Structure 1
Amino acid sequence: MRRSRTFEWGDPAVTAAAVPHGSGLDFLREIMAGRLPAPPVAAMLGFTLEEAEHGRAVFTLEPGEEHYNPIGSVHGGVFATLLDSAAGCAVQSVLPQGTGYTSLDLTVKFLRPVTVDTGKIRAVGTVLNAGRRTALAQAELRDSEDRLLAHATSTCMLFPVQQN
């Protein structure tokens, strides 16, 4: 039986244009409040930024069949996307106005399978160290019973962002 899924997203250029105009934490809070569009990847995969504070960001996802790999569990790329988003946004939350970031690397360890029966999962990102040029963050993917499903570390490069 065929299945389908439809989704919509806001203009990513609007969100990108807002990056230089406030702190990284202010930027994340604007997305959470709906005053800036969430990134299209969040709509495509169905995840949400639920918490943002200095040095920490939390994303949630309710796993569905659309996230499955051929062996009947959530694809590792979905895990990696959630973990990359959590670690990266944790870094963004500590950035001053006029500073951006990009991921330089992401190392993921998969510990448990996830299926639709797992229920809502949370990717919790935290900053381990933020310097002038790079930041190191980690992220944990956990189920509703707080079991660790996957873990990641990420190094991010920091750079000045020009105002438009």
Structure 2
Amino acid sequence: MTETSNKSLTAGETPAATHRSRVFGWDDPAISAGAVPHHSGLDFLREILAGRLPAPPIAATLGFTLEEAEYGRAVFVLVPGEEHYNPIGSVHGGVYATLLDSAAGCAVQSVLPQGMGYTSIDLTLKFLRPITVGTGKVRAIGTVLNSGRRTALAQAELRDSDDRLLAHATSSCMLFPVPTR
């Protein structure tokens, strides 16, 4: 016979049998940031892909990686885990947003000449399907729709391994000269 407890948990208390932990590390983000003014956007992304520049700390925090970068396109991948869950048992919308913002932003970065940078102005996101650990690897595919002198517009799609659309986003980015450090 299994004994269960009716004891209520207080704030911050977790049952010992359900506790999980995750350890991760990252490299100094100043290394990559310092390299931005010395590369075209695409060359910068290729340096990250080749491991010659470190990925940003957010990639380690969430466990996603840059998988592809070409002119006007960037792809990130993530295998969802419980650490990505919200309280209702599916991947938190902030994880979707981070993947889509990264893909759209890096797609914009891929078209920038040396000495130029970008920052997101906005991100409009539509959630279409839930993601769980059972979903398997997901891909965030960002593409540039238009790039001007001061702004760029990109879109990103989040797809599962069966190519089903899980979420869609558009992002406007402001373009600016990056000072040499």
Instruction: Please classify the TM superposition score into its range, dividing by the shorter chain length.
Output: over 0.9
Alpha-carbon shift at residue 162 of structure 1 (Å): 1.1
Partner of 2:75: 58
Determine the C-alpha separation between the residues in 2 that align with 1:163 and 1:33.
23
Alpha-carbon shift at residue 24 of structure 1 (Å): 0.2
The answer to whether the aligner puts 1:90 opposite 2:107 as a matched pair is yes
Partner of 2:45: 28
Partner of 1:157: 174
Partner of 1:45: 62
Q: Secondary structure at the match of 1:81?
A: helix
Structure 2: where are the runs of 5+ without partners? 1-17
- CA offset digits 1:84-108 (Å, max 9, x no partner): 0000000000000000000000000
The answer to whether the aligner puts 1:139 opposite 2:156 as a matched pair is yes
Determine the C-alpha separation between the residues in 2 that align with 1:119 and 1:132.
39
Alpha-carbon shift at residue 8 of structure 1 (Å): 0.5
- Partner residue of 1:14 out of 25, 28, 31: 31
Amino acid at match of 2:92: H
Determine the C-alpha separation between the residues in 1 that align with 2:27 and 2:73.
24
The list of structure 1 runs, each at least 4 consecutive aligned residues, that deviate by more than 6 angstroms after superposition, is: none
Determine the C-alpha separation between the residues in 2 that align with 1:100 and 1:46.
24
Determine the C-alpha separation between the residues in 2 that align with 1:32 and 1:92.
14
Determine the C-alpha separation between the residues in 2 that align with 1:97 and 1:163.
11
TM-score when scaled to structure 2?
0.90
Structure 1: where are the runs of 5+ without partners? none
Determine the C-alpha separation between the residues in 2 that align with 1:134 and 1:116.
37
Aligned CA-pair RMSD: 0.3
Amino acid at match of 2:100: L
Determine the C-alpha separation between the residues in 1 that align with 2:47 and 2:30.
15
- Taking only the aligned residue pairs, the percentage that are identical comes to 82
TM-score when scaled to structure 1?
1.00
Alpha-carbon shift at residue 18 of structure 1 (Å): 0.2
